[in-house]
Amino acid sequence: MNYGNIKFNDIANGEGVRTSLFVSGCTHHCKNCFNPETWDFNYGKPFTKEVEDEILKSLEPEHINGLTLLGGEPMEPANQQVLLPFVKRVKQKFPNKTIWCYSGYLFDKELLCENLEYADGKTHKTAEPHLVEMFINGKKQMVSRAHTPITKEFLSYIDILVDGEFVQDLKDITLRFKGSSNQRVIDVQASLKQHQIVLSPLNEKRNKDIPRRLIYNVKLAFW
- The domain limits of the chain are 2-112+147-222, 115-145
Against a cut of 0.85, is the pTM above it? Answer: no
Phi, psi of 37 (to 5 degrees): -60, -25
Residue 134, beta-bridge partner list: 123, 141
User: What is d(CA 90, CA 154) in angstroms, rounded to the nearest whole number?
Assistant: 12
User: Mean pLDDT per segment of 10 residues, for the chain of length 223 residues?
Assistant: 97 96 93 87 97 98 97 95 98 98 92 51 42 55 76 96 93 90 95 93 79 40 34
Q: What is the pLDDT of residue 115?
A: 37
Q: What is the pLDDT of residue 53?
A: 98
Q: What is the pLDDT of residue 30?
A: 84
Q: What is the pLDDT of residue 114?
A: 45
Q: What is the pLDDT of residue 210?
A: 46
User: What is d(CA 177, CA 150) in angstroms, rounded to the nearest whole number?
Assistant: 26
